[in-house]
Structure 1
Amino acid sequence: MASTRAATGKHRRTTKVNIRTGANVVGITTVASGVVAGITGQAFAADGGTAPQQAGLTQAIAIGDGIADHIEAQAQSQETAAEQAAAKAKAEAIARQEAARKAEAAAKKAKAEREAKERAAREAERRRLNTFVSPITGSYVSTGYHASSGLWSSGSHTGIDFHASTGTSVHSVGIGEVVEAGWGGSYGNNVVIKMNDGTYTQYGHLSSISVSVGQQVTPGQQIGLSGATGNVTGPHLHFEARSGEDYGSDIDPLSYLRSHGVNV
């Protein structure tokens, strides 16, 4: 009987040790979910002892604190990474906005510069078209307006003559439309242009003509070459200014050119 009780007691003691050990393990494995204290407390009450359970509880708490610190460190690391990613995204967004702002400013500047150049070009063209020039560059008047001579059927010169050898370039004095281009009797080969202001200009005794009726011409554009065709005594350019298209409506060519800024 004595051996039987001793065996039974030994069995019970072993069971207690196992329970305590199991309690410690359970306490360790469940500390992360917050139930360490409850489980180790139940093990302590069932056993009635103090030292082994307290040691297991201390170990479980220590391990639990380590896990909590690890989790907290991971959370802090993730938070820091998230903050860094957010800061990087914000910086990139600001950089994109700044790049877009600079691109827009550059586009506006380029547009303004282009429009300024276009306005300047239009203004330059407007001035050019409103400018009058001499019919022959670098020449001078060899016979004046209303000079008297039997060479002219009217008894006086209806225009002015510019000194020019045969083949010298003859220009339109301003912008207008060609209304006559061909043989003009005593004028020889001649061109008549209706100017934009409604007046007419005539270019006579040409050796050749380089424009045609209906053609628009601009100031300084070549309309032919000087010569000695028609009623002449030598090569030159006969130039007339008229208030109308017909012969006899002539006006002083020198005053006409000078009133339009031509220095002759």
Structure 2
Amino acid sequence: MAFTRATGKHRRPSRLTRRSANMAGVAALATTGVIGGLTSPALAADSDISADAAHAVQDTGLTQAIVIGDSLADQIAAQADQQKRAAVKAEAARKAEAERKAEAKRKAEAKAKAEAEARAKKEREERAAKERAAREAERKRLGGYTLPVAGSVVTTGYKTGGNLWSSGSHSGVDFRAASGSSVVAVGAGTVVEAGWGGAYGNNIVIRMNDGTYTQYGHLSSLGVSVGQSVASGQQIGLSGSTGNSTGPHLHFEARTSPEYGSDMDPVAYLRAHGVNV
């Protein structure tokens, strides 16, 4: 069985014409048992079989075929387009997630860098503060003054009279000190004399950094030598009773020069430098 159209009519039949032709072709195929086994409800109910397929259904003695119509092709195309859009959407989501992770990584790295820089800055500041404190402590140590014998007191005052001194009076002060007590420089300076000093016994004279001089007499031993620089509080010897002495103590003088006779009040001198005497 064949379907024909008028000679010269090459225009595609209308949808209604295609539907009629399709239905007729399906009926014809059904009489031959070709589509008796088709089970698809969509094809059985409303399948747009093309007009060309309708013309192709002829009594040729061969198995007759059905060409899928426009409706199913449209469905397939729509499904393909939907899948394509889904793939594009999935790719966009993947890229967005990758960008989100990259941005999170950049932020984490920037945060870690900022924290490391903050720690380094804090460490630099703490180190600088410690260095300043150390310099200040050293400055105070070098520039500060202290008692020549820690915790001692004056037992014989300045200008005390008596025949114990050739000049008739005491040219310094005596600090109480048991034999072998540590004697320190009252301030920073340079040793200009270290050795036997006659009536002073073993003695040390230091030129202080402010240009004045201090003397330490009756020592049992000396711990420094001429030309040596000393710091405030540095041990220079041990107390004793050498020279013109009636017992262990430290004879301390403050002078304007290294020579005998240039003495000044040692207590006033120490107090002027902040020492509590």
The equivalent of 1:135 in structure 2 is: 148
Q: After superposition, give the CA deviation of every residue in 1:208-246 in whole Å (9 maximum; x if it has no partner).
A: 011112222112211111111111122211111001111
Out of 255, 262, 269, the position equivalent to 1:249 is: 262
Q: After superposition, give the CA deviation of every residue in 1:57-98 in whole Å (9 maximum; x if it has no partner).
A: 333332222222222211211111011101111111111112
Out of 157, 182, 187, the position equivalent to 1:174 is: 187
> SS in structure 1 opposite 2:259?
coil
Contact 2:190-2:228 at 8 Å conserved across structures: yes
Out of 55, 58, 66, the position equivalent to 2:71 is: 58
1:117 maps to 2:130: yes
Q: Which moved more, 1:138-147 or 1:253-262?
A: 138-147
Aligned length: 222
Out of 175, 196, 200, the position equivalent to 1:187 is: 200
Q: After superposition, give the CA deviation of every residue in 1:103-128 in whole Å (9 maximum; x if it has no partner).
A: 21222222222222222222232223
The equivalent of 1:215 in structure 2 is: 228
1:259 maps to 2:272: yes
The equivalent of 2:162 in structure 1 is: 149
> SS in structure 1 opposite 2:211?
coil
Q: How much has 1:149 moved relative to structure 2? A: 2.2
- C-alpha separation in 2, matches of 1:98 and 1:145: 70
Query: For structure 1, which runs of at least 5 residues remain unmatched after alignment?
Result: 1-42
Contact 2:53-2:67 at 8 Å conserved across structures: no
Letter in 2 for 1:217: V
- C-alpha separation in 1, matches of 2:178 and 2:120: 55
Instruction: State the identity %.
Output: 56
The equivalent of 2:114 in structure 1 is: 101
> SS in structure 2 opposite 1:99?
helix
Q: After superposition, give the CA deviation of every residue in 1:32-80 in whole Å (9 maximum; x if it has no partner).
A: xxxxxxxxxxx95x77849998843333332222222222211211111
CA RMSD of aligned residues (A): 2.4
The equivalent of 1:28 in structure 2 is: none
The equivalent of 2:102 in structure 1 is: 89
Q: After superposition, give the CA deviation of every residue in 1:123-171 in whole Å (9 maximum; x if it has no partner).
A: 2322232221111122221222122222222222111111222111111
- C-alpha separation in 1, matches of 2:178 and 2:118: 59
Query: For structure 2, which runs of at least 5 residues remain unmatched after alignment?
Result: 1-49, 58-64
TM-score under structure 1 length normalisation: 0.77
**Displaced runs of 4 or more, over 6 A:** 50-54
Distance 1:181 1:59, change over 3 A: same
> SS in structure 2 opposite 1:190?
strand
Q: Which moved more, 1:223-232 or 1:110-119?
A: 110-119
TM-score under structure 2 length normalisation: 0.73
Superposed, 1:188-207 pairs within 5 Å as 188-207=201-220
> SS in structure 1 opposite 2:118?
helix
1:235 maps to 2:248: yes
- C-alpha separation in 1, matches of 2:153 and 2:269: 15
Letter in 1 for 2:174: D
Superposed, 1:16-27 pairs within 5 Å as none
- C-alpha separation in 2, matches of 1:88 and 1:157: 89
Q: Which moved more, 1:237-246 or 1:111-120?
A: 111-120
The equivalent of 2:60 in structure 1 is: none
The equivalent of 1:158 in structure 2 is: 171
> SS in structure 2 opposite 1:83?
helix
Letter in 2 for 1:133: T
Contact 2:240-2:249 at 8 Å conserved across structures: yes
Letter in 2 for 1:116: A
- C-alpha separation in 2, matches of 1:172 and 1:232: 21
